[in-house]
Amino acid sequence: MNRTHLYYLLLALGGAVTLAGLGAAHVMDEHGHAITGMTNQVVWGLPHVFAIFLIVAASGVLNVASVGSVFGDPVYKPRSRLSGLLCLALLAGGLMVLMLDLGRPDRVIVAATHYNFKSVFAWNVFLYSGMFAIVALYLWTMFERRHAVHTKAVGVAALVWRFVLTTGTGSIFGFLVARQAYQSALLAPLFIVLSFAWGLAVFLVAQSVMYAWNGHVLPETVRRRLARLLGVFVGGGLYLVAVYHLTNLYFARQGAFEAFILRDGGVYPWLFWAGYVVAGALLPMLLVLHPRLGRPRCVMAASLLVIAGAFALLYVFIIGGQAYPLDIFPGYAVTSSFADGAIETYRPSWPELLLGLGGVGAAFVLTTIGVHVLDFLPRDDESVGVKA
Amino acid sequence: MKSVLAALLFALAGSAGWAADRVPRPALGAARGEQCVAEPAFMRRNHMDLLKHQRDETVHRGVRDPRASLKGCIDCHASAETGSVAAAKTDFCVSCHSYAAVKVDCFECHASKPAGKTMAIAR
Amino acid sequence: MNTGDTEARNDDASGAREALAGRRAFLGIAAAGAGGALLAPGIHLIEVAQAAAPAGAAQGANPKVRWGLLIDTTKCASGCNECVTACQTENGLGTGTSPTDPQWIRKVEIKEIKTGRTASLPVMCQHCAEPPCVDVCPTGASFKRADGIVLVDRHICIGCRYCMMACPYKARSFVHEPLADQKPDVPRGKGCVESCTLCVHRVDRGGQPACVEACAKAGHHAMLFGDLNDPASEIAQRVRQVATTQLRADLAVDPGVRYAGL
């Protein structure tokens, strides 16, 4: 199968997945959210898990470009373009899911014209749109030779913007004072470190696949450096998650909630321990940091595991955090017709899954078209070993 | 030959213009009450601005001007047959709006019937 | 230098200045005229709106007032649902209690774990003075009126449900299905978030919320509605005399709903 055939096949597959997502969104809009698994107790479901992964990964994938432009590292510099493209594609996919999951997606214009600046959500609308503009500008400086002098300045701007954006994403949850799962200042830095890990994992997967399909070979030194960096980031994320839970365990009033997430909550402890801690953090770290491992297949496996672990963590964080009831009457056992005091059973539905996958599909389609049409692939023979 | 063709085309266009009843013209039934908020010509052009300006006043500031109340409009303009302003194609709001092809989504949330004519429970 | 030339130049200069002044004047008048033509319809609209307003309507919500509720849980019976039924009827909510059905007020049965003491009480939107739902709403659809009632402006609500995440009292519901036959006083629709409005349509007519009225009519008198800012009102006097609590007072959101007997 030649390159063009492969390209059209990928487009068809990605397009089909995206269309399925759009169809699911349409059905959700027609019939209302009653056809999903979301309720008045779990108000943000599977689409949000996908959307937040895509958005956080989008922010993190730009790290590669930042290290290249801002810090001038020669290993990262040739990868800056692909990093920028992936950032735009992932962000577009994530925002697509987020906007289509709104109760009134026809009112996106209202969201763009009415701002309550006390809301971090409103700030995020502004930050996400601005991110598109800045990364587009960033890519332009990379592609247009005359503007290459500005790459560093725009790169710094993109780096700062990215930090603010991811802090905002973490603060969406961190500012929720009433929920035991959130209400923590630690969430903003946690999201920043997670973005580094998830973004790099996505980058490594995309890069490996593109190299394989284009007959390029990634130099061993480059792979080792990137893989080790992934290990560091995953370790950092695991550390912050551990601190978050350990601190919570110290507070008597958080005890019941922590028991739910870590031990008694059924699917949530499973996903947390097996999905995130073991499969999504410890195993990838072993695969990339162990001196006897670090082969290409290990790096690919580690990256895929990190991504799977990300979904597991987000599922526990977003949905588990809502399934546990609000503590309106501390010290009391509570019952009511509105599920007060009761743990909600959330069952993800097909429309939600399709919508989430549709976002991934959209990111995939945008990346495929970008790489096919413009010169995004990294070229290692150029500047490895040469200080830029 | 060309002039004959042109004449034929003109005749067709002209007759199409005069026979423009594929889309039913708005048939506004008589409303109850004496005088509307303002002159019909003014209302035709500006009712959307009045409603939109007034809704922010009402919702956010709590200013309930009885003459700018949507309920007030519906009370007078509800059709005698359907009891609504948006149920049938000949009802007050829908007839003009379907003719002008301007979608109204007011009645996704607002009752289109006067008080007392709606069911007690939404379901 | 030829004085004639200078004069001629002066004449030219002054002629040019006159012409310029004339052009500026013309532009000024034209701009004023265009501005007037643009503004006139708007002014006319405002005229119509204001001319139409009778005396009381122009005042709107009074910032000196703070509407609140006092609920005496000792008078609240465990099986009684009068307030809930009244709310459902008044607002056209339906009686369903599935996880996707809206519940603006619900009866909550609580039992203190250590002592076994039980109580029953209705919980609804607490109409906080510092509402977390208002802080987090990206479009400003969730807002607090001048008289303390917290509402959702469904014209600008985009249905993001962030306010539902933020509310400490689980007061908000999301409309999961298309609706029909809404009450004319209570517009509500699919895809927007909603919660107890303190029956703002009744309050603005000088009435009381439907739940308070129903509780009184049933003879329990567990709910009291009034102006917390008016020292002479019954509710203000009662909260001064009797010990009352706010739910989750530790959050310092200052709810307008107070509970006695908890």
pLDDT tens string C154-163 = 999 999 999 9
Gap between the Cα atoms of A255 and A264, Å rounded: 12
Tell me the mean pLDDT in the region C133-162: 95
Q: Tokens at residue C139, please?
A: 């479009």
Q: Which of C54, C60, C180 sits opposite B61 (nearest CB)?
A: C60
Beta strands in A240-358 (DSSP E): 332-336
Residue A201 located in a structural domain: yes
Residue A273 located in a structural domain: yes
pLDDT for B67 equals: 76
Strands C244-245 and C223-227: unpaired
Residue type, C186: V
Q: What percent of chain B has pLDDT over 90?
A: 4
Q: Give the residue, A100 or C37, on which the prediction is more confident.
A: A100
Chain Cα centroid distance, residue B39: 15
Per-residue pLDDT of chain A (388 residues; tens, 9 = 90+): 687 898 999 999 999 999 999 999 999 999 999 999 999 999 999 999 999 999 999 999 999 999 888 888 888 888 999 999 999 999 999 999 999 999 999 998 888 889 999 999 999 988 999 999 999 999 999 998 888 888 889 999 999 999 999 999 999 999 999 999 998 999 999 999 999 999 999 999 999 999 888 888 888 888 888 999 999 999 999 999 999 999 999 999 999 999 999 999 999 999 999 999 999 999 999 999 887 776 788 899 999 999 999 999 999 999 999 999 999 999 999 999 999 999 999 999 999 999 999 999 999 999 999 999 998 888 776 444 433 3
Q: Give the residue, B87 or C78, on which the prediction is more confident.
A: C78
- Asked if the C-beta of A326 comes within 8 angstroms of chain C's C-beta atoms, the answer is yes
Q: Which of C108, C111, C137 sits opposite A340 (nearest CB)?
A: C108
Nearest to C76 by CA among C240, C218, C234: C218
pLDDT for A340 equals: 93
Among B36, B70, B109, B110, the strongest candidate for a mutation testing the C interface, having the largest count of C CBs within 10 A, is B109
Cβ contact B61:C146 at 8 Å? yes
SS3 readout for chain C: CCHHHHHHHHHHHHHHHHHHHHHHHHHHHHHHHHHHHHHHHHHHHHHHHHHHCCCHHHCCCCCCCCEEEEEEHHHCCCCCCHHHHHHHHHHCCCCCCCCCCCCCEEEEEEEECCCCCEEEEEEECCCCCCCHHHHHCCCCCEEECCCCCEEECCCCCCCCCHHHHHCCCCCCEECCCCCCCCECCECCCCCCEECCCCCHHHHCCCCCCHHHHHHHHCCCCCEEEEECCCCCCHHHHHHHHCCEECCCHHHCCCCCEEEECC
Query: Is C53 a residue whose pLDDT tops 50?
Result: no
Among A177, A179, A253, the strongest candidate for a mutation testing the C interface, having the largest count of C CBs within 10 A, is A177
- Asked if the C-beta of A32 comes within 8 angstroms of chain C's C-beta atoms, the answer is yes
Query: Is C141 a residue whose pLDDT tops 90?
Result: yes
Residue A252 located in a structural domain: yes
Nearest to A177 by CA among C257, C106, C248, C193: C248
Phi, psi (rounded to 5 degrees) for A144: -90, 110
For chain C, what is the mean pLDDT? 87
Q: At C116, is the pLDDT very low, low, confident or very high (cuts 50, 70, 90)?
A: very high
- Of the candidate ranges B18-22, C101-105, C235-239, the one whose mean pLDDT is the lowest: B18-22
Cβ contact C146:C61 at 8 Å? yes
pLDDT for B24 equals: 64
User: CA torsion angle for A63, A69, A70, A75 (degrees, to 10)?
Assistant: 70
Residue type, A262: L
Are C162 and A119 inside 8 Å of each other by CB?
A: yes
Q: Which residues pair with C225 in a beta bridge?
A: C69
Residues of C in contact with B111 (CB under 8 A): 181-184, 187
Indicate the number of domains in chain A: 1
Q: At C186, is the pLDDT very low, low, confident or very high (cuts 50, 70, 90)?
A: very high
Gap between the Cα atoms of C125 and C127, Å rounded: 6
Residues of A in contact with C161 (CB under 8 A): 43-44, 103
Q: What percent of chain B has pLDDT over 70?
A: 72
Q: At B76, is the pLDDT very low, low, confident or very high (cuts 50, 70, 90)?
A: confident
Residue A309 sits in which domain range? 189-345
Gap between the Cα atoms of B51 and B41, Å rounded: 16
Residue A317 located in a structural domain: yes
Q: Which CATH number is C67-260 given?
A: 3.30.70.20
Spell out a b/e string for A66-100, using b for 16 or more CB atoms within 10 Å of the CB, else e: bbbbbeebebbbbbbbbbbbbbbbbbbbbbbbbbb
Gap between the Cα atoms of C68 and C227, Å rounded: 6
Are C155 and B55 inside 8 Å of each other by CB?
A: yes
Residue A248 located in a structural domain: yes
Residue A336: strand, helix, or coil: strand
Among C160, C173, C179, C246, the strongest candidate for a mutation testing the A interface, having the largest count of A CBs within 10 A, is C160
Tell me the mean pLDDT in the region C63-76: 95
Query: Is C54 a residue whose pLDDT tops 60?
Result: no
Residue A245 located in a structural domain: yes
pLDDT for B4 equals: 75
Q: Which residues pair with A142 in a beta bridge?
A: none
pLDDT for B10 equals: 65
